Amino acid sequence: MAGGQSMILLDTCALLWLAIEPARLSDAARKAIAEAGEHAHVSAVSAWEIAWKHIHGRLRLHLDPSVWFPLALENHALRELPITGAIALRMAALPDIHRDPADRFLIATAQENRLTLLTPDPLIRQYPDLATRW
């Protein structure tokens, strides 16, 4: 907690749903985002995942991801976190519960920055030393 507010990291689904389909967010997720205020974060890996899915036709956006991503962050007052060497090393050392590299980076980012990961993914919730909410 910082300043009485919870500090969260939105996974890529949570970011997309917040920006495009807010009704898909759980009540607890909406509450967590509202409570976090300026302490709501997204990982740079979400930018990569969104762009990758868009380029390969698995995600349709009304704008190019290079425009959409920064606008989504600005519109929802989200702070972007970089992928650091410490995060990359932590990601590689994670137990093999989840094989998706983007999700593993999100887990490592949350752990490294002591953030609660906002995710609907039940596999992610199995990781030790990881606070999650949904």
pLDDT in tens, 70-96: 999 999 999 999 999 999 999 999 999
Q: Is residue 96 part of a domain?
A: yes
Q: Is residue 3 part of a domain?
A: no
Q: Is residue 17 part of a domain?
A: yes
Domain ranges, residue 13: 8-133
Q: Is residue 1 part of a domain?
A: no
Q: Is residue 16 part of a domain?
A: yes
Please tell me the predicted confidence (pLDDT) of residue 6: 83
Q: Spell out, as residue ranges, where the chain has pLDDT lower than 70.
A: 1-5
Name the domain count of the chain.
1
Three-class secondary structure assignment of 67-121: HHHHHHHHHCCCEEECCCHHHHHHHHHCCCCCCCHHHHHHHHHHHHHCCEEECCC
Q: Is-contact 51 36, C-beta < 8 A?
A: no
- The domain that holds 111 is classified in CATH as 3.40.50.1010
Residue-wise pLDDT for 35-45, tens only, equals 999 999 999 99
Please tell me the predicted confidence (pLDDT) of residue 17: 98
Which letter does DSSP use for residue 2 in this model?
B
